[in-house]
Each structure stands twice: as C-alpha cells, then as structure tokens.
Amino acid sequence: MSATTAEQTMETARKLVELSRDHRGVEAVDTLYDEKIVSIEAEGSDELPARMEGIGAIRGKNAWWYENHEIHGSKTVGPYCGHREDQFAVLFEIDVTFKPTGQRTQMSEVALYTVRDGKVVQEEFLYLAP
Amino acid sequence: MSATTAEQTMETARKLVELSRDHRGVEAVDTLYDEKIVSIEAEGSDELPARMEGIGAIRGKNAWWYENHEIHGSKTVGPYCGHREDQFAVLFEIDVTFKPTGQRTQMSEVALYTVRDGKVVQEEFLYLAP
C-alpha cells in the first residue's frame, strides 16, 4: 500500500527536523530536497538574492552561510502541521556570530516548507521582528 | 504619505501580537479582521469544519473555544516576517484544559496570517506534531 500525501509529507518533515537537530543540514538538502527547490529568504542582497532556485544555488547558499557563521547553540522545534497536506513548518532558534563583522545574534525563525512527492520543493523563512 | 503594504502588514501584525499577549483576542477580531476572513484549522469536526469563512463564523468559533477551554498560561512570540509583504506568523504556546473531558494539554502552534489593506483576510493554524 502506498503512503498518502499527508504521510509522505510527515515523513519528510520528521526527517528534516531530525537532521537539523543533528546539525546535518547538508544531508537534509542531499536527501530531502527536490532538484528544483525554491528558497525564499526574508531579504536579499547582491550576493544572495531573496529568491533562489535549483539545488545547486541552495547548496551554494548553505555553504556560504556555514562558512560565514559560527554557531554557538541551536534549537529545532517541529514539525508543525496544518490542514494543507503539502506543507509543514519548523521553528529554529540559533545563537550565532556572523564572522565578517563579529556580531553575535540570537535568531528566531519560522521556516515554512512545501513538499511534493516527499521532496521539499520550497522553503520560506520568516524572522522574528526585533 | 500613505503607508506601504509592508508597513501596514507590520502594524497589523504588531497589534495582533500585543492584543493576544493581553488576552484580548476578541478585540483583535473586532478591530483587525476582515469581514470575509477565512480561518483554516488543522482538522475539522462536525461542530467546527476545518475551513470557516466570514467574521460571524470566526466569532462563533472563538466563543466556542473560550467557553470550552480553561487557560492556565500562554505565551505569544512574534510577529515573524518574511519576503511576502502580505504575510506574517505568530507562535502561540498555550497550557489549557478542555473542559468537556478535563484533559490538560500544552499546545504549541504556528499561526500564519494573510493581510490585505491592513486587515487579516486569512488565518491558518499549524500544530506541533506529537
């Protein structure tokens, strides 16, 4: 018997949360992300546009992020599930220093994921307003 | 000079968070919600369908909720803002007893709001999976 859409999404959601907790974000992208993943940050810059598409771009973005940040601590809460079978959310809290400036920040963000056939096709990040 | 969409949304978001913190949810609906508000719960029942529409239905739903729950404590975190100018999220943690059964639960939920012209036109609730 094949899994329903809701079951597939939940399985993807639980794996993503587990890998994030284990600091295995690279593995999450490799195993759970669709080739045509769309990633939407709150704000863009010249280096990193707000909207990026394709697994290569997302790998590049993540590599940039890990190279430029020192993580002191993090907490992953989720998955949060609602009525939509193709969507879930995860809460991330990260205590991090941005290496180029030395600025340390306690970030809190809600990540909203869209799933198709068990693969993440969109990630969207919302940040706690100061 | 009129406020931008992003500024309007942020003002609505901050007011909603403030009223929720003060346990003034009824006032939030009265002052911030559109007449045609759509409310999407994770799951529906015979009494309360997952998708409800119109401010009368939402007032009824909220009245039912407050009548049937005893709140021991709550925490409101937000607003969370991303790239979309018409969207924000709020994290709610509620320690609550469902009066008909006496069952006490610690609920954690992400509420996702869509705003048009400064009024909330959709609320969608995602719950922390057990």
Element (H, E) at A36: strand A33-40
Structure tokens at B8: 């309007």
Nearest to B29 by CA among B129, B120, B126: B120
Q: Is the pLDDT of residue B1 over 60?
A: no
Query: Chain A contact for B28, CB < 8 A?
Result: no
A85 touches chain B (CB under 8 A): no
pLDDT at B4 (0 to 100): 82
Q: How far is A70 from chain B (nearest CA, A)?
A: 23
Using alpha carbons, select from A123, A122, A91 the residue that is nearest to residue A107. Answer: A91
Over chain B, what is the mean pLDDT?
Answer: 94
* In chain A, % of residues over pLDDT 70: 98
Q: How far is A129 from chain B (nearest CA, A)?
A: 6
A3 pLDDT band, cuts 50/70/90, is: confident
Lowest mean pLDDT among A10-14, A90-94, B3-7, B96-100: B3-7
Q: What was the pLDDT predicted at A48? A: 77
Q: Which residues, numbered 55 to 74 in chain B, qualify as contacts with chain A under a Cβ-Cβ cut-off of 8 Å? A: none
Residues of B in contact with A83 (CB under 8 A): 40-43, 50-51, 124
- Convert the pLDDT of each residue in B83-128 to its tens digit: 999 999 999 999 999 999 999 999 999 999 999 999 999 999 999 9
Q: Measured between CA atoms, how close is A83 to chain B, in angstroms? A: 4
What per-residue confidence (pLDDT) applies to A2?
A: 65
Q: What is the pLDDT of residues A70-120, one digit of tens each?
A: 999 999 999 999 999 999 999 999 999 999 999 999 999 999 999 999 999
Q: Are strands A33-40 and A119-128 parallel, antiparallel or unpaired?
A: parallel
ipTM for the assembly: 0.93
pLDDT of residue B20: 95
State the pLDDT at residue B34: 97
Greater confidence, B65 or B108? B108
Name the maximum alpha-carbon separation found in chain A.
53
pLDDT score for A1: 52
